[in-house]
Chain A
Amino acid sequence: MSRTVSRAAIVSAIVKKDLVEFSRDTLYLFLSILGLVLFITFFWIAPSTVNETLTLGVHQTGMNALFDQFQEGADASEGLKLVQFASEEELKKVVAGDLEYWESKDGAQTFLRDKAAGDEKPKDAKKVDVAIGIGFPAGFLEKTAAKERTTVTVYSDAGVPSEIQGAMTSFVREIAYTIAGDAIPVTEPAQENIILGTDRAGDQISIREKMRPMLALFVLMVEVLSMASLVSSEVMNRTVTAVLVSPARAGDFLMAKTIYGTMLAMSQAMIVLIAIGAFTTTNWWLLLLTMLVGSVMFTGVAMIVGAAGKDFLGTLFYGVLFLVPLMIPAFAILLPGTASAWIRFLPTYGMTQVLTGVTAYGLGWADVWQNLLAATAWVVVIYLAGLFTLKRKVESL
């Protein structure tokens, strides 16, 4: 008896079977749903506004005239606010968070509140976060004018981005320069910041917006683990052997896994991106394209991990091994200043740049096509590697 069965029918039968298996895998089903809920929650609880005004605490003696001048400048400009402290010790405590600095609504009165000591909240006042402080030593003015070296201490909270710390260094230098006229006598290390991608200083985006690429990658990551476990169980239980002695071919099996992985990754990434409000009427197709590229890339990773991992722990081990480097570009966007130039060479770099560019800065095709092209090139490499690894594994059984 001879029957003909189309390749498409075989592939779709395998995909259907994979979906049934996925729906029965309570662990990964749970992880996927938990992931979706958590990632969406993360996004909505993250700060949505950029704290553009930076409050700078200063302690100085004998430089009142100079600081009145700065104060005027600061008041006139947006984004910088100067607060003077009577002692360096107070300044240090406020920056460290051991003391709270409060200001009356009109700004005329200031209070220091020691919460640990049980101080009441000052009435009609608001708390001002002093994230960075500069302590000038006594006699700074005279010594600097005499071109003597002095030490200026910059206090900063751990949460202050490194660009701002760098800016402070420049600020101190500027003061010293103003006083001394030419040389820069302040002992502060020179600091270089590498800003990746387009330099968007002064064009800041909120943490929430910076989280988008990371959340998208998180979803893809959970998907990789889930698919890899499916692939590895198929390989380890040798069910794939039973599939291959039927009219189905290795190519059908691989095609089915590609479709299944891409479909699942893509649909979950879409859910998250829609839920975190990434889509607009103009960017939707660019986002879809980017996520398609990402989904295929991670499907390739899942194939490699699935072929390598022998059990749950093995899959997890290889999964983490491959996924950590892929996550770095997303973290780099979240924590600027932590990254170095080499992250440009990570496969997911282009993708994360496009995601932020498109969702946060409203960039279009013309701005992102190079990054998208780079991502696509990586997809080709990773997917082919996945295909090759899994094909060899399957055929060696």
Chain B
Amino acid sequence: MTEAAIKVEDITYAYGDLLAVKGISFEVQPGEILGFLGPNGAGKSTTIKMLTGQVAPKGGRAQILGADITLDDPDIQARIGVCFEEKNLYLAMSAKENLDFFASLYGIKDPDSLEILRRVGLADRAKDRVKTYSKGMRQRMMISRAFINKPDVLFLDEPTDGLDPVTSASIRATIKEEAARGAAVLLTTHDMFEADELSDRVAFINDGVIVAIDTPENLKLKYGKRSVKIRLRNGSGVREETVALDTPQSGELLKEVVGSGEVLTIHTEEATLEDIFIQMTGRGLVG
């Protein structure tokens, strides 16, 4: 087994008296995408801030590419890419100038900025100042900047924030390309669909604690209740029956319902990550 690209052991962070991250542990392997799924204020961004050296953890340890994060090692920093929550771009400069500048901080002599902008669909606006960009374009610009140094570790804080569905899908595809190239990706989201679609594993984070961490499949298998919803004609009306699938009597029950009338539709219902999240934390992902 290869060494984990991100290795976090029991790290904590507090803003004054407010404990934002209460001792969380996880690992991300090279080529793996770990999705941090949690509501506002759960501690997702704070975790990323600690791992990227913006704030120092108050407790616990973490290693990026084998080096302790408190070392601030420039050789390690050269190998990570970050997409911040706030869109901190140089507004007076063009997209290409922004990328070229950051490339030079990484010692990249002739950066392929245009190619990177093409990947996020901004190549035709490369020479325009970022000031003139829409919110979604700025967000795409943020992602492209995280890619500039072909990082081995990518931290993406709500990468698809404010993007339309089509753009979101294409950005998710580029994130998958980065992972396929071998990058370890830690991304945050409160969109359960995105977490499900994009992540190899999902960590449910709530109130500074990871309440569950596993592949989306396993989470659904372990915690989700599958069921079958059957609609039948009932005289002049319509009758609906729901049969749980994970009980010993499921088979019998299903036969009985299906045999009891004229079946209109049958749907299998899988629990969504959101259902499971609510079930585990007693709260939804929004609010």
Contacts and interface: CB of A to CB of B under 8 A. Distances in A.
A111 B97 CA distance: 73
Nearest to B53: A245
Contacts of A13: 101, 104-105
B97 A242 contact: no
B145 interface: yes
B104 A9 contact: yes
A4 interface: yes
Interface in A1-47: 1-6, 9-10, 13-14, 16-17, 20-21, 24-25
Interface in B80-137: 80, 82, 84, 86, 88-93, 97, 101-102, 104-108, 129
B93 A237 contact: no
B150 interface: yes
A25 B91 CA distance: 11
Interface string B193-214: 0000000000000000000000
Interface residues of A, number: 29
A249 interface: yes
A245 B88 contact: no
A388 B80 CA distance: 28
Contacts of A2: 75, 78-79
A372 B282 CA distance: 70
Contact of A4 (B86, B90, B104, B107): B107
A248 B84 CA distance: 17
A24 B79 contact: no
Nearest to B107: A5
Contacts of B88: 237-239, 241-242
B110 to A, nearest CB: 13
Contacts of B105: 5, 10, 13-14, 243, 246-248
Nearest to B90: A239
B274 interface: no
Of A17, A20, A246, the most chain B CB neighbours within 10 A belong to: A246
A241 B105 CA distance: 13
A25 B86 CA distance: 22
Nearest to B75: A2
A241 B90 CA distance: 12
B52 interface: yes
A196 interface: no
A244 B149 CA distance: 15
B152 A1 contact: yes
Nearest to B86: A238
A397 interface: yes
Contacts of B90: 17, 21, 237, 239
B92 A24 contact: yes
B185 to A, nearest CB: 16
Nearest to A397: B54
Contacts of B89: 237, 239
Contact of A242 (B78, B82, B149): B82
Interface residues of B, number: 32
B77 interface: yes
Interface string A99-135: 0000000000000000000000000000000000000
Nearest to A23: B92
Given A239-B88, A241-B54, A246 B79 contact: no
A8 to B, nearest CB: 11
Contacts of B93: 17, 20-21, 24
Contacts of B104: 9-10, 13
Interface in B41-92: 52-54, 72, 74-75, 77-80, 82, 84, 86, 88-92
Given A1-B79, A2-B78, A238-B84, A247 B152 contact: no
B107 A3 contact: yes
Contacts of B145: 242
Given A20-B97, A239-B89, A245 B54 contact: yes
Contact of A3 (B78, B82, B102): B78
Given A4-B107, A241-B84, A247 B77 contact: yes
Nearest to B49: A241
A164 to B, nearest CB: 53
Interface string B135-167: 000000000010001101000000000000000
Contacts of A1: 79, 150, 152
B92 A25 contact: yes
Interface of A: 1-6, 9-10, 13-14, 16-17, 20-21, 24-25, 237-239, 241-249, 397
Given A4-B75, A4-B107, 10 more contacts: A1-B152, A5-B78, A10-B104, A20-B93, A24-B129, A243-B105, A245-B82, A247-B75, A247-B77, A247-B78
30 contacts: A1-B79, A1-B152, A2-B75, A2-B79, A3-B78, A5-B106, A9-B107, A13-B101, A16-B101, A20-B92, A20-B97, A21-B93, A25-B92, A237-B88, A237-B90, A237-B91, A238-B86, A241-B84, A242-B82, A242-B88, A242-B102, A242-B145, A243-B105, A244-B53, A245-B53, A245-B54, A246-B78, A247-B78, A247-B106, A247-B107
Pairs of residues from A and B, 7 with the lowest C-beta to C-beta distance, nearest first: A5-B107, A247-B74, A13-B104, A24-B92, A238-B88, A246-B105, A3-B107
